[in-house]
Amino acid sequence: MYRQYIDVLKKTTLFTGIKESEMEAMLYCMSPRISRYPRDSVIAIEHDPMEGIHILLKGSVTITKETEDGGRTLLAKYHAGNLFGEMAAFSESKRWPATVEASEDSKVMALPIQNVVGVCSNSCGGHRLLIINMLTILSEKAMRLNRRVEYLSIRTLRGKISRMLLDQYEHKKSPYIRLGMNRSEMADFLGVTRPSLSRELGHMQDEGILEYAGREFKLTDLEAMRMAIRS
């Protein structure tokens, strides 16, 4: 019954380390609810109570948030194999912090949290791993948010840019960096406007601190970038 979904489910970090053979049994054990949503239909509305964590089996969904003036901001877009709602599912309020809509015909698997953390009647061994994975997912999410807070807390635009690129540098150990986002997204991520970002990048290139073209960056003066971060 759930076999057809195993390939998609393997993509989520929720099941890393769990054998395929175990997954089907675990799914039965957790009695997921699978729903279809036609394109542009609403999956959940901000403030709605939520029943568990969700895995997108097919299609894609957008996460949006109402702004004060009635507009919308796109927070994220997820594709098949992505997990969502995990942050709020275990929180006190258990309410959706944003609105979720299907941007294509989609299929979603909802796992009630009691069944995720619950005592497994089959006492399946993978369950413990599942919980560890869940903890890891939440930790990583918190760590990412923490990093973002650090970026946003830097007061100068040059500092923010430097911090972001240096982090990539530390990670890849290479001065050649390819970002996974376009300018608008980058500006958004750093909490500045796109023209301001473009201008500052231009200045930094003029000063020989870095070179760039589109999403490709080459860091040429790491010291200058480190300087820029100093509070």
Q: Nearest 5°: phi and psi at 117? A: -95, -5
List the one residue out of 169, 171, 178, 180 whose CA is nearest residue 220: 169
* Residue 73 interacts with DNA (CB under 7 A): yes or no: no
| Dist CA 204 CA 200 (whole Å) | 6
Residue 201 site contact among DNA, a copy of itself, none (CB < 5 to 8 Å, cut-off depends on kind): DNA
- Give, as one character, the DSSP assignment of residue 208: T
Q: Does 1 bind a copy of itself (CB under 8 A)?
A: no
Binding at 76: pick from a copy of itself, DNA, none (beta carbon under 5-8 Å per type): none
100 is a contact residue toward a copy of itself (CB under 8 A): no
Longest CA pairwise span in the chain (Å): 65
Instruction: Based on the shown chain and the rule CB under 8 A, indicate whether residue 77 belongs to the binding site for a copy of itself.
Output: no
User: Do 118 and 29 touch, CB atoms closer than 8 A?
Assistant: no
Query: How many chain residues touch a copy of itself (CB under 8 A)?
Result: 43
The answer to the question of residue 136 lying near a copy of itself (CB under 8 A) is yes
One-letter amino acid for residue 27 of the chain:
L
- Among residues 192, 222, 224, 229, the one that binds DNA under rule CB under 7 A: 192
> Please, which of residues 119-178 interact with DNA by CB under 7 A?
155-158
Among 164, 195, 198, CA closest to 180: 164
The rounded Cα 52 to chain-centroid distance in angstroms is: 17
182 touches, from DNA, a copy of itself, none (C-beta below 5 to 8 Å by class): DNA
Query: Taking CB within 5 to 8 Å according to partner kind, which of DNA, a copy of itself, none is near residue 215?
Result: DNA
Residues 6+ apart with CB under 8 A from 122: 25, 29
> Interface with DNA includes 38 (CB under 7 A)?
no
Q: Phi-psi bin for 123: left (phi > 0), alpha (psi -120 to 50), beta? A: left
Shortest distance in whole angstroms from residue 11 CB to a copy of itself: 17
Least CB distance to DNA at residue 53 (A): 30
The Cα 53–Cα 44 span in angstroms is: 12
Tokens encoding 154? 């830097």
Please give the residue ranges that form the binding site for DNA (CB under 7 A).
155-158, 182-184, 191-202, 212, 214-215
Please give the residue ranges that form the binding site for a copy of itself (CB under 8 A).
67-69, 71, 73, 86-92, 97, 117-119, 128, 131-132, 134-136, 138-143, 145-146, 148-149, 152-153, 155, 188, 191, 193, 226-227, 229-231
